[in-house]
Structure 1
């Protein structure tokens, strides 16, 4: 199995069975990601060096407008897509195996966790994983310590309050907060390019 085949598998939402070829590939690929993440998080790195390491981690060119404050964690890397003018504060954890897309101009508060895999409910199949992507639109603001679960889309211009756990889609320009996150109001603004 190669990266293209694995990404095709997970991006279709196909099950990753515990002990399967896909499962073994995922764990092997994680080792490469963990080496790169260790370089990001060990000692001081200039913004340019961080972007270079993120380019290696994702396999995609990371725009010079992207700013990430380490430490930063990703267990896979190759299914993470970053737009332009993104700021990711320190201590964020991205489980991108199932796919994470972050739109232009988005701000992500420190300690935020984005998850894209659910484990099997049946204890006999607990090692199985179901991938579901997380999509964050343009000009979104995720407060500190937000958790976004698999399969959630956050619309353009939305704000997610600190400490929220986002378990369902968030409309564009909505303000949500709480555990689980609930609609508080709308911003009254539109996210413009």
Structure 2
């Protein structure tokens, strides 16, 4: 049987009654403590990278910028590519897994949420995760929310204050709540 961290990442239902749940919650609080330390007072880019290494459990590429404050429940299942720019006040619920490609821009106050609750009201405290995948060269506008299981295709743009509930095809602009296709991105190479 998988441990609770593997079950969580595999998208299985995880309940406070499950064996290992206390360990999961302890890791979440440890991650949040590290993020709070990073978010308190001014930190140099090098200091932010050190904190992010602790949060992610792996180094953040030197070419990537994260502007605190940055809020995260669990960072180990989060992978962030090269030359990314993540603005301040973003929230990542990373338990279900987040993969961010290269050259991704994430505006201020964006939310990447990989966790959902059981629809059964008698089991509402149980959660399950679905990964979020953001391919290379995506731009996510200010105050947007990406919901569990969504994949945002290469080069796409998510308009400000959008709630993305479904996959976004490559080279597409989406906006709204729920986000809908606005248009395809056409590149003129004259």
Tell me if both proteins adopt one fold, taking TM over 0.5 as the criterion: yes
Give the structure 1 partner of residue 163 of structure 2: 165
Q: Secondary structure at the match of 1:21?
A: coil
1:8 corresponds to which residue?
6
Shift, 1:7, TM fit = 3.7
Is residue 151–residue 167 contact of structure 2 (8 Å, CA) maintained in 1?
yes
Whole-Å separation in 2 of the counterparts to 1:148 and 1:187: 20
Q: Give structure 2 stretches of 5+ with no counterpart.
A: none
SS at match of 2:32: helix
Bigger mean CA deviation after superposition, 6-15 or 91-100: 6-15
The answer to whether 1:28 aligns with 2:26 is yes
User: What residue in structure 1 maps to residue 103 of structure 2?
Assistant: 105
Residues 99-178 of structure 1: pairs in structure 2 closer than 5 A: 99-178=97-176
Q: Assess if the C-alpha contact under 8 Å between 2:158 and 2:173 holds in 1.
A: yes
Counterpart Cα distance in 1 of 2:63 and 2:39: 20
Q: Partners in 2 of 1:79 and 1:7 — Cα distance? A: 10
Aligned alpha-carbon RMSD (Å): 1.6
Spell out, residue by residue over 1:117-152, the C-alpha distance to the aligned partner (whole angstroms, 9 max, x if none).
110111110001011011111000000000011010
Query: What residue ranges of structure 1 are gaps of 5+ in the alignment?
Result: none
Normalization by structure 2: what TM-score? 0.94
User: Could you report, residue by residue, the CA deviation over 1:104-123 in whole angstroms, capped at 9, with x for unpaired residues?
Assistant: 00000000001011101111
Q: Secondary structure at the match of 1:77?
A: coil
| 8 Å Cα contact 1:37-1:74 kept in structure 2 | yes
Q: Distance in 2 between matches of 1:159 and 1:65?
A: 21
Check conservation: 1:18, 1:129, Cα contact below 8 A.
no
Distance 1:56 1:160, change over 3 A: same
